Amino acid sequence: MTNLTNQYGGICKLIGLLFPGQMEVVLHDLETGCIVALEGAFSNRVLGDTSLVDFKALKERNDGDVIGPYAQENWDGEMLRSLSAVLYDDRAKPIGLLCVNTKTVALSAAAGLLASLTQINTADKPKSLFNQDWRQAINTTVSKTLAKRGVVLVAAKRSDKVAILNALETNNIFDIRGSHQYVIKLLGVSRANFYKLLKTVRGEPQTNLKNKQ
């Protein structure tokens, strides 16, 4: 457990308990470059994952300690309302980033009091902080592809998944280490089926893929 987790882990847990299942809290450690606390996870990230945040740009910011709210696409296409806060040590040195992502579909369906909590009057996502986040690039590509085809991920057919892989291949996503495993998990397919679909996209002959297991 890191010092940052000791300091802010309880706060992350508290925030996550406010709206169970609707709010994800992510604590990024600038020292390790990893996620060191994760509550209410629903974005296909796990504890210890690389943060994929441009910490150099974060340290150079001078426009306040709170970033957002800004909109992000989740892996399933749902829009998230996100806020981030820069954390400092006693010497005013940035040591972490606390991010809170809130689902909007269920809350947007509620009326009255909840309406004020679900307004997404958000600025553009700060590219200087998230230009390394290939997971977000995948989420955005999948979301746009599904929207264009008029389907949702849970009902996606083989042709839809081929279209998704084709869009990702066009954007050179699969050149990134770890992207194959992320997309396999996102699409809910086996490794064998994933590589069969990818061969289809690339126009490669189908072969026995047992060795890829």
Residues pairing with 67 in the sheet: 84
Burial of 88 (0-12, 13-18, 19+ CB in 10 A): exposed
Q: Residue 104: which residues within 8 A CB-CB, separation 6 or more?
A: 78, 79, 80, 81, 118, 120
The phi and psi torsions of 26 (rounded to 5 degrees) equal -125, 125
pLDDT tens digits, the chain, 213 residues: what are they? 678 888 899 999 999 998 888 899 999 998 888 999 999 999 888 999 998 877 667 666 666 788 889 888 888 888 899 999 999 888 988 889 999 999 887 766 665 554 555 555 555 555 544 456 889 889 999 999 999 999 888 889 999 999 999 999 998 899 898 899 999 999 999 999 999 999 999 887 766 544 443
Say how far apart CA 38 and CA 47 lie, in whole Å: 6
Whether the predicted model's global pTM rises above the 0.75 cut: no
Task: For the chain, list the domains and their CATH numbers.
Answer: 3-131 (3.30.450.20), 137-212 (no CATH)
